[in-house]
Structure 1
Amino acid sequence: MNISLYDLSVWVLPLIIAITFHEAAHGFVAHALGDNTAFDRGRVSFNPLVHIDPFGTLILPAMLLLAHSPFLFGYAKPVPVNFRALRNPRIDMVWVALAGPATNIALALAAALAFHILGFLPANAAQWVADNLKNTLLINVVLAVFNMLPIPPLDGGRVAVGLLPRALGASLARLEPFGMLILIGILILLPLAGSQFGLNLDIISTILQTMTGYVIQLLLVVTGNA
């Protein structure tokens, strides 16, 4: 299974930009709201080198490309945030969490708008730009939708912790150390178990695909592409 430089340029480049801007947005908003942890560690930056996780940002996406996976996924080093240092920890945590997905939606919107410039480009350049823009739209919407699942430590989980009544929020927050295990369970293990009994238990992936489709269609309509 060969992978070309063209494949890398139209998939990995949009992925690195999406992840970098997502993490940087968390850092910028946290810094603006009183927490200097990320700033002091040099993470309030759009320099991808400070956010790249060697496995999550480079090796994992490359492996998925080599395997001709139907989806591309990756992650960066999480931006450190000391929520107690925020001026209003409970509500500011919500703004910090929302910053990442909101930035991804903004990037997706910009990509959708940029489709209108393709007609002004030379034919040989237009295809490469078009593929980058399509993947930028897809990757950013997938990251935004996935991260808004209400499971800590995903952004949606932290939003839920901040907005729920304190007792419920505290109970949800206690799941954070087990959040990735829960995600692996519902996204991978549960569907595998269901397939052994002829059951489709891949409910979360179906919901994510449906929501991603709706958001992409909305962005295309808003930007005059549909």
Structure 2
Amino acid sequence: MAHPSQLGFQDAASPVMEELLHFHDHALMIVFLISTFVLYVIVVMVSTELTNKFILDSQEVEIVWTVLPAVILILIAMPSLRILYLMDEVNDPHLTVKAVGHQWYWSYEYTDYNELCFDSYMVPTQDLAPGQFRLLETDHRVVLPVESPLRILVSAEDVLHSWAIPSLGVKMDAVPGRLNQTTLMAAHSGVFYGQCSEICGANHSFMPVVVEAVPLKHFEDWSLLLSSTY
């Protein structure tokens, strides 16, 4: 969960988000080095005779400023492609959950449990309990087992939505008439908050996502209790 005056990302709660944070730091360092070098060249050109005709006509300089950007792009592209393939890979998931966006709430179906489905609405401000977060808390949380590879199927019933949880590194568009899939695995127990990340209408900011990762035994107890309730 983010905290006041935070400048960086939320703490990673999944292996994918850890990879994304490492890639962000990697790319940011490259950008910092490029910016420093360009600033240095500008200062030198302004303050010295660096801009004489021998430098401007140098074949070696032209080779360097052609090859170096290509090398930098490769250094950025290779880890980026690796993470993209990692995020799209869904290998033998232990559980499948279908999230369907509506105006303006989410509904969930645990496809491995025939009768386990529910709607998830935002808790109004006046109904919040102490310690709950305004505009982020829901009446029904998505309970998932911890340290288990999961498949999330995402769709929408009316307009475009987007199911996103920053700390888990998940953001998948919900498109009407189309079923998108993504994968996630919570590395530890906890409650993780997200929101619809697509401008889907007047109440766009009032359809949060709350995922609660619990040990497998607790998840099984919860699923049995919810199945009996519905």
Q: Shorter-normalised TM-score: what interval? A: under 0.3
Instruction: Please give the TM-score of this superposition, normalised by the length of structure 2.
Output: 0.24
Structure (1/2) with the larger helix percentage? 1
Instruction: Please give the TM-score of this superposition, normalised by the length of structure 1.
Output: 0.24
Structure (1/2) with the larger strand percentage? 2
Which of these two proteins has the greater Rg computed from alpha carbons?
Answer: 2
